[in-house]
Chain A
């Protein structure tokens, strides 16, 4: 509640400040890139960044619970799950460039999500 009130007092005139526009624009750009890049690993990393930017957006919108949950669950746990799945899909040999381009082999590729 307190955090929400601080945010509300900070922009009494509304949300059209530069930070919000930049944040919204970056979210759209990262979403487009997630679906556009060729390499699946890059797409997954962009997806995790999307989640973290989204947590920032929730903080701007006065939703601290949702921001915490998004950062921990949406970016953290979902990121770990997707990276685990990517590793498992690529361990079975490259099935054409759709699954395996830029392939991360072995366990080292997994020390990323801390």
Chain B
């Protein structure tokens, strides 16, 4: 029906909201069919286990919960129209309307295969879940203002910790690959789309669903395992852990798919002239991340299936008395988990090295070394996972080896610092908001990296393992590294995505409050850990009370700083719109040569790439690409 109304859209009155919402595949139907799917699946699960249930002592039926969630996934995807294309094609019909790239704001609530729409959908979803998880962190810090459980009880506290950790890890691992990766990779390599547009939309909607399924753990009684989900505790836990398992599985699946998509795009869709040594460093960072995602996430998915089987059909993968081993989860999880933290870190490196040359007005110093550094991090991250198990008693004789590999990984990481230092040498630095975030990355990540050296050293790790020292360390690397870089990326690229500038004064206020309160929140926690405060506890020594109250107050200020970011987004993009123009930063990158926001087809004709986009200070160097003559008449709706 939309197809007929489109040409007359300017004159015809807008269709009623209920028709926009329900007259087509889209988010409302996805929610409805998801809930219906859950109810049907749960009912089927209860029916097929009715005989078994009589012998089980608990009131929760994991088979029913799992089946409900699996049906809900298919209901959700069906409601969005993911099955419409394959079914129409199987029946020999032309592709149905869900394949078209819609116009108007409603496409943001639908399956859309335009990589720019998906990128913005991703960004909104990631920011939404980032704030949900951040709110959990505020509740955790509220509880820790007293040395005993007062505001929330021990069980709810663990659920909060688990939701915060899992949500942040899930959303941040998709946090750059999803929004910035999908949006920018085609623009930066001179392509009109991603390699697999339907998969790109699928990863988005799986990620969104995973976020909501994880939140449903609250309804199922919460889960006590934190984001690490250690078995056999996960075998024993109540139904909330099923939500953790299904959502993390979906994120694993989304990571595999988005990694495949980005890798395939980078390998096969580059514009003519875009040789491997002309790829922007940000795209290199994402390619290295994608390799990690594709190789590590399947291990997580397999381990999660094992826990699911332990919980439903009584296999004993993790039950020592029945021949399983708790070490199995430790190994599988951290074999995924350590590459996972570099899935979080590497895009940050890419963003920072992409932003630095623009505002330093200098070429990226040591481009090849940076590529080698990122590849080295990606490769080595698979060889260090047992440093999470230094005191676990497994393979204790291999500890010197893992100590060595862990310290080895600081060589390629140190290279990123050298790139930054070289780029700043005798530069002409402009202190815009993206540049401030990029510079603060080095400050934070340095503290994160140097505290990591303590953790990699076994004698020191014996004290700090499982304490707040670890917690402070990974917040310095992930929040101080990735989130600061991501914020820089958002301030840098949102003008390109929307066509409107973000307010510079609010941005600077956001940066300075975030930077100061981030450090005041997490630096004291190194001391808390060294003084013997374990992670994930509601009650701690009274001697640490003042320290914790201080940290909590600083954390609330940090939370308030994030609200400034939100205010800035709404203010600049809704109320006080200021056009950004095609190239507000005077950057030489390819993505800045097209209008803001770019047209559906990105480039009028496929560009021909002439070199790296870092030719600052080289007046004779050609532009990064020649775009060819502009197309005279762009057909309505563009080409898929």
A binds B: no
Interface residues of A (CB under 8 A from B): none
